Amino acid sequence: MSAKILNGKLLAQNLENALKKEVASLKKETGCVPHLVNVMVGDHHGACAYAKSQKKAAEHISIQYELEALQEDVTQEHFRQCIKRLNDDESVNGIMIHKPVPQHIEYHAVAKYVDTDKDLEGINVTNIGKMLLGETRIIPCTPASVMEHIKSTGIDLYGKEAVIVGHSVIVGKPLSLLLLEQFATVTVCHIATSEAGQLEAHVRRADIVVVAVGKPSVIKGDWIKKGAVVIDVGINQVNDKIVGDVEFEAACKNAAFITPVPGGVGPVTVTMLMRNGVEAFKAQMRKKGKL
Ligand code: NAD
Q: For the chain, 291 residues long, give each residue's pLDDT as a single digit of tens.
A: 699 999 999 999 999 999 999 999 999 999 999 999 999 998 755 557 889 999 999 999 999 999 999 999 999 999 999 999 999 999 999 999 998 899 999 998 999 999 999 999 998 899 999 999 989 889 999 999 999 999 999 999 999 999 999 999 999 999 999 999 999 999 999 999 999 999 999 999 999 999 999 999 999 999 999 999 999 999 999 999 999 999 999 999 999 999 999 999 999 999 999 999 999 999 999 999 999
Residue 167 Cβ < 6 Å to ligand 1: yes
Q: Would you say the CB of residue 175 lies under 6 angstroms from ligand 1?
A: no
242 Cβ closer than 6 Å to some ligand 1 atom: no
Please confirm whether the linkage preceding 100 is cis (ω < 30° from 0): yes
CA–CA dist 208, 255 (Å, integer): 10
Is the shortest distance between the CB of 165 and ligand 1 below 6 Å? yes
**C-beta 194 within 6 A of ligand 1:** yes
- Residue 137 Cα to chain centre, angstroms: 13
Strands 241-243 and 236-238: antiparallel
Ligand 1 centroid vs 214 CA: distance in angstroms?
A: 5
Compute, in angstroms, the gap from residue 191 CA to the centroid of ligand 1. 10
d(CA 46, CA 109): 22
Instruction: Give yes or no for residue 214 CB within 6 A of ligand 1.
Output: yes
Residue of the nearest CA to atom 39 in ligand 1? 266
Describe the crossing of helices 172-181 and 125-132 by its angle, rounded to 10 degrees.
30
> 116 Cβ partners below 8 Å, 6+ apart?
124, 126, 127
Helix then strand count (H, E) for the chain reads 11, 11
127, 280 Cβ separation under 8 angstroms: no
Question: Which atom from ligand 1 is nearest to the alpha carbon of 141?
Answer: 40
The neighbour count for residue 241, using CB atoms within 10 Å, is 10
Say which residues have a Cβ less than 8 Å from residue 7's Cβ, sequence separation at least 6: 260, 263
